[in-house]
């Protein structure tokens, strides 16, 4: 049986705790339901009030390092003993006696003992462990969710240049971003998914001249082909459709019909950008990902927003002219930049961080007090200067706005060798390549199961395997296995939901019940830390606990009450596994 990767989580006391600003948090033991955590804190506080009325410690609960010592521990006696001039072990013993004498402790605590220099170790009552099944039954798909909050969160991710298909780096962003959005939703946040199209700049010029070259019959290997041109087969597809006067339409734009005039650079640009935006739409549809809004970088220029931002920065006094260029005093703005940055080049034109500042200003003005950007590690250098630009505008924007999740790129292995190129893309593996090879479920799970800042090798052969080593298969198989069991006992379906669970006391049953009770805390921590991989790990652990229980305890026992209770435990486990997979965008099949 796999050991838990979680000892406690930060449980947010309010919606603000999901922001980047420091906020009160409590150490939340992951195997306790929120209401049980609150009850135990209240019991400890009540006992402390009766013994040391003036004490005001920060009562924390955590899991003992050795499971044999108990389920939960607190060091509260050690916190207050010195100021009270008390022996911490003696004080801890007095607290234990007061807690266990409280009638409210009967259904929550089985045992409390003093250990070491003054720790108090608690072992929960079986009834407390079993209570999670009723919570799952009543809450269903919303088990572990918090009530709606007022905080608005924008998550910007994928945000690709419309110059080619989405590659595996974009795929990792898609998996991370969508999962983070779903996790924030469980915490009651109002979430907006935004895709920022970088449709302005030199890369668009390179796209245009690449399409023109292919339309004129120039092969990518020819010396006449643009040195910085795009060489994938998709460029030829665009050129052929342009010459055929085809019509394309991106998801949020007007239809664009090609004129067929290859010398008209503006017409080629409009058609090529629309064509590739449509192609990226198809990539996202294959990934089952929908954005709430698409924001065009070009609109920042056409609307005058970039120029307005520059003038506002000049007005605040944080700019200066040097060598014919306009500079921003980023080093004076406390965001960690090591040197001042050019805003307007001496030869004319703005550097790329200037429209970024303008764009993030619109996020703040739209009411998103928390903005999260998911980007590759190659964007690390932009963080300080964008934040500096926002500070210079003096709009009351927090110094660490926006939050960045920077991910490392993905290497793809297939048949024991690294895959570096795609015929369609010309130089990289695409999102649709991965989906074609292993299916959407495996792509989503594999790309979300590692920390964003960790190196990751996507093993195509492993993702396609039907073995315990394939985590998504292992978890989905547990879910399907449970439904097979439930189908075999369909005659008892009417009794399962209300089955008496008092008989669920085997060690593997308690372990599985504890695992299910962890789930709400895992959601909170994963959202707070922008870490969907924590949920992926938890799902693997939950599947392992289920298989361990299933192999140790017979469900088909003569005792009808115990049989119904075990079926209820299995059904509840399937519900939570399906819930968790859904937050990663992965299906929960009932048959495999």
Structure tokens at 381: 């250098």
Q: Which of 246-255, 372-381, 389-398 has the lowest mean pLDDT?
A: 246-255
- What is the reported pLDDT for 189? 97
Residue 179 sits at the vertex; the CA angle it makes with 175 and 180, to the nearest 5 degrees, is 115
Asked if the structure places residue 266 within a domain, the reply is: no
> Cα–Cα distance between 166 and 412 in angstroms, integer?
15
How many distinct structural domains can be found in the chain?
2
- What is the reported pLDDT for 28? 38
- Judge if 139 and 112 occupy the same domain: no
- What is the reported pLDDT for 426? 67
User: By the 8 A CB rule, do 29 and 63 touch?
Assistant: yes
Asked if the structure places residue 493 within a domain, the reply is: yes
Q: Which of 111-125, 167-181, 392-406, 410-424 has the lowest mean pLDDT?
A: 410-424
User: By the 8 A CB rule, do 457 and 435 touch?
Assistant: no
Asked if the structure places residue 208 within a domain, the reply is: no
The mean of the pLDDT values for the chain is 91
What is the CATH number for 507?
1.10.730.10
Which tens digit of pLDDT belongs to each residue from 238-270? 999 999 999 998 777 789 999 999 999 999 999
pTM of the model: 0.91
- Judge if 470 and 541 occupy the same domain: yes
Mean pLDDT of 498-526: 95
User: By the 8 A CB rule, do 378 and 161 touch?
Assistant: no
- Judge if 142 and 63 occupy the same domain: no
Mean pLDDT of 5-32: 38
Q: How confident is the model at residue 411 (pLDDT cuts 50, 70, 90)?
A: very high
- With DSSP H G I counted as helix, E B as strand and the rest as coil, what are the percentages for the chain, rounded to 5? 50, 15, 35
- Judge if 574 and 480 occupy the same domain: yes
- Which percentage of the chain shows pLDDT scores above 90? 83
User: By the 8 A CB rule, do 191 and 155 touch?
Assistant: yes
- Judge if 140 and 98 occupy the same domain: no
Asked if the structure places residue 61 within a domain, the reply is: yes
Asked if the structure places residue 40 within a domain, the reply is: yes
Q: Which single residue is written with the structure tokens 């990934």?
A: 287
Asked if the structure places residue 409 within a domain, the reply is: no
- What is the reported pLDDT for 4? 35
Nearest alpha carbon to residue 538 among 478, 458, 457: 478
Which tens digit of pLDDT belongs to each residue from 303-319? 999 999 999 999 999 99
Asked if the structure places residue 19 within a domain, the reply is: no
Asked if the structure places residue 22 within a domain, the reply is: no
Q: How confident is the model at residue 7 (pLDDT cuts 50, 70, 90)?
A: very low
- Judge if 482 and 532 occupy the same domain: yes
Domain that holds residue 70: 31-124
What is the CATH number for 86?
3.30.1360.70
């Amino acid at each position: 049986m796999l050991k838990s990767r979680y000892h406690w989580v930060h449980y947010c006391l309010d919606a603000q705790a999901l922001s980047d600003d420091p906020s009160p948090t409590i150490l939340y033991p992951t195997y306790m339901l929120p209401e049980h955590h609150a009850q135990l804190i209240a019991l400890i506080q009540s006992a402390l009030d009766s013994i040391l009325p003036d004490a005001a410690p920060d009562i924390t609960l955590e899991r003992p390092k050795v499971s044999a010592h108990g389920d939960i521990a607190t060091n509260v006696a050690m916190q207050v003993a010195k100021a009270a001039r008390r022996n911490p072990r003696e004080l801890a013993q007095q607290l234990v006696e007061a807690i266990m004498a409280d009638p409210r402790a009967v259904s929550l605590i089985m045992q409390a003992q003093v250990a070491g220099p003054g720790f108090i170790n608690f072992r929960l009552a079986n009834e407390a462990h079993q209570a999670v099944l009723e919570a799952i039954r009543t809450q269903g798909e919303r088990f572990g969710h918090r009530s709606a909050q007022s905080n608005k969160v924008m998550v910007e991710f994928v945000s690709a240049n419309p110059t080619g298909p989405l590659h595996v780096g974009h795929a990792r962003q898609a998996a991370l971003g969508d999962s983070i959005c779903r996790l924030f939703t469980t915490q009651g946040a109002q979430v907006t998914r935004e895709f920022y199209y970088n449709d302005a700049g030199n890369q668009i010029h390179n796209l245009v001249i690449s399409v023109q070259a292919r339309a004129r019959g120039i092969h990518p290997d020819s010396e006449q082909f643009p040195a910085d041109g795009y060489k994938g087969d998709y460029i030829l597809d665009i050129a052929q459709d342009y010459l055929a006067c085809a019509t394309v339409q991106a998801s949020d734009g007007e239809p664009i019909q090609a004129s067929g005039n290859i010398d008209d650079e503006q017409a080629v640009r409009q058609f090529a950008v629309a064509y590739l935006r449509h192609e990226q739409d198809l990539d996202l549809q294959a990934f089952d990902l929908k954005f709430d809004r698409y924001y065009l970088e070009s609109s920042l220029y056409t609307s005058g927003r970039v120029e307005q931002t520059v003038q506002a920065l000049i007005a605040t006094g944080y700019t200066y002219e040097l060598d014919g260029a306009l500079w921003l005093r980023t080093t004076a703005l406390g965001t960690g930049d090591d040197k001042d940055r050019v805003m307007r080049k001496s030869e004319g034109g703005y550097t790329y961080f200037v429209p970024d500042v303008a764009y993030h200003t619109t996020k703040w003005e739209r009411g998103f007090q928390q903005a999260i950007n998911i980007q590759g590690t190659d964007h690390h250098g932009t963080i300080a200067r964008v934040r500096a630009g926002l500070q210079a505008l003096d709009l009351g924007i927090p110094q660490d706005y926006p939050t960045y999740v920077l991910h490392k790129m993905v290497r793809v292995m297939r048949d024991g060798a690294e895959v570096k190129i795609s015929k369609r893309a010309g130089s990289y593996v695409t999102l649709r390549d991965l989906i074609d090879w292993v299916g959407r479920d495996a792509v989503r799970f594999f790309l979300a199961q590692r920390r964003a800042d960790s190196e990751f090798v996507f093993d195509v052969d492993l993702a396609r395997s039907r073995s315990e080593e394939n985590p998504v298969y292992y978890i989905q198989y547990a879910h399907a296995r449970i439904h097979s069991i439930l189908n075999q006992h369909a005659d008892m379906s009417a009794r399962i939901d209300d089955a008496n669970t008092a008989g669920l006391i085997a060690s593997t049953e308690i372990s599985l019940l504890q695992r299910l009770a962890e789930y709400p805390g895992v959601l909170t921590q994963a959202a707070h830390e922008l870490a969907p991989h924590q949920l992926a790990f938890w799902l693997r652990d939950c599947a392992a606990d289920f298989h361990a229980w299933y192999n140790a305890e017979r469900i088909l026992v003569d005792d009808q009450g115990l049989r119904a209770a075990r079926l209820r435990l299995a059904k509840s486990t399937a519900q939570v596994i399906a819930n968790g997979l859904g937050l990663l965008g992965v299906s929960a099949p009932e048959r495999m």
